[in-house]
Structure 1
Amino acid sequence: MNDTPRENEVEERWSTLHDLEEWLQAPMMVLSFAWLVLVIVELVWGTIRLLEVFGTAIWVAFIVEFAIRFALAPRKTSFLRRNWLTVIALVVPAFRLLRGLRFLKLARAARGFRLVRIVGTANRGMNALRASLSRRGLGYAIVLTVLITLLGAGGMLAFEPAPEVQGGFASYADALWWTGMLLTTMGSEFWPRSLEGRILCFLLSLYGFAVFGYITASFASFFVERDAAAPEAETASGADLAALRAEIAALRADLARDKGSHS
Structure 2
Amino acid sequence: MKPLNRPEKEAIEHEQQQILQQLEDWLELPMLILSFAWLGLFVVELTWGLTPLLDAISIVIWGAFILEFVLRLSLAPHKARYLKTNWMTVISVLLPALRVLRFARVMRILQTTRAVRGLRLVRVMARTNHSMRSLAANFGRRGFGYVVMTTAIITMVGAAGMYAFEQDAPDLSGFDSYSTALWWTAMLMTTMGSDYFPKTPEGRILCFFLALYAFAVFGYMTATLATFFIGQDADDDEAEIVGVKSLDALRDEITALRSEIQSLRQGD
- TM-score normalized by structure 1? 0.85
Match status 1:220 vs 2:223: no
1:166 to 1:105, Cα distance in 2 relative to 1, 3 A? closer
Aligned with 1:233: secondary structure? coil
Contact 1:138/1:215, CA 8 A, preserved across alignment: yes
What amino acid does structure 1 have at the position aligned with 2:89?
A: T
Deviation at residue 213 of structure 1 after TM alignment: 1.2
CA distance in 2, matches of 1:231, 1:8: 59
- Per the alignment, do residues 9 and 221 of structure 1 end up closer, same or farther by CA in structure 2, a change over 3 Å counting? same
Verify: 1:69 aligned to 2:69, yes or no: no
Q: Equivalences for 1:191-202 in 2 at 5 Å? A: 191-202=197-208
Question: In structure 2, what is the equivalent of residue 184 of structure 1?
Answer: 190
Residue 29 of structure 1 pairs with residue 32 of structure 2? yes
Q: SS at 1:170's partner residue? A: coil
Q: Deviation at 1:184?
A: 1.4
C-alpha contact (below 8 Å) 1:160/1:169 kept by paired residues: yes
Following superposition, the deviation at residue 24 of structure 1 comes to 0.9
Cα 1:149/1:165, change in 2 over 3 Å: farther
Contact 1:162 1:170 in 2 (8 A): no
Is 1:114 the equivalent of 2:120? yes
- Segments of 5+ residues of structure 2 without an aligned counterpart are 254-268
Counterparts in 2 of 1:169 and 1:235: CA distance versus 1, 3 Å: closer
Report the equivalent of 2:259: none
CA drift of 1:25 comes to: 0.9
Match of 2:47 in 1: 44
2:177 to 171, 176, 193: 171
* CA RMSD across the alignment: 2.3
2:12 aligned residue: 9
Q: Tell me how far apart the structure 2 counterparts of residues 230 and 199 of structure 1 sit (CA, whole Å).
A: 47
User: In the superposition, relative to structure 1, how do residues 236 and 213 fare at CA in structure 2: closer, same or farther (>3 Å)?
Assistant: closer
Amino acid at match of 2:179: A
- Whole-angstrom distance in 2 between the partners of 1:103 and 1:14: 44
- Of 75, 87, 90 in structure 2, the residue corresponding to residue 87 of structure 1 is 90
**Where do residues 224-243 of structure 1 align in structure 2 (5 Å cutoff)?**
224-233=230-239
| 2:59 partner amino acid | T
* Higher percent of residues as helix: 1
Alpha-carbon shift at residue 235 of structure 1 (Å): 9.8
Q: Distance in 2 between matches of 1:236 and 1:4?
A: 60
Distance 1:70 1:195 in 2: 36
Structure 2 counterpart of 1:148: 154
Match of 2:99 among 83, 96, 99: 96
**CA distance change for structure 1 residues 129 and 236 in 2, over 3 Å: closer, same or farther?**
closer
d(CA) in 2 for partners of 1:206, 1:81: 25
Shift of 1:136: 5.3
Change (3 A) 1:193 1:90: same
Instruction: State how far apart, in whole Å, the 2-side matches of 1:104 and 1:117 are.
Output: 15
Alpha-carbon contact 1:10-1:74 (below 8 Å) kept: yes
Could you tell me whether the CA contact under 8 Å between 1:134 and 1:140 is conserved in 2? no
Post-superposition shift, 1:210?
1.2
User: In the alignment, is the contact (CA less than 8 A) between 2:88 and 2:130 conserved in 1?
Assistant: no
Q: Which residue of 2 aligns with 1:261?
A: none
Alignment check: 8 A CA contact 1:153 1:175 kept: yes
Q: Name structure 1 gaps, 5 residues minimum.
A: 246-263
Q: Is the 8 A contact 1:182 1:205 kept in 2?
A: yes
1:92 partner letter = L
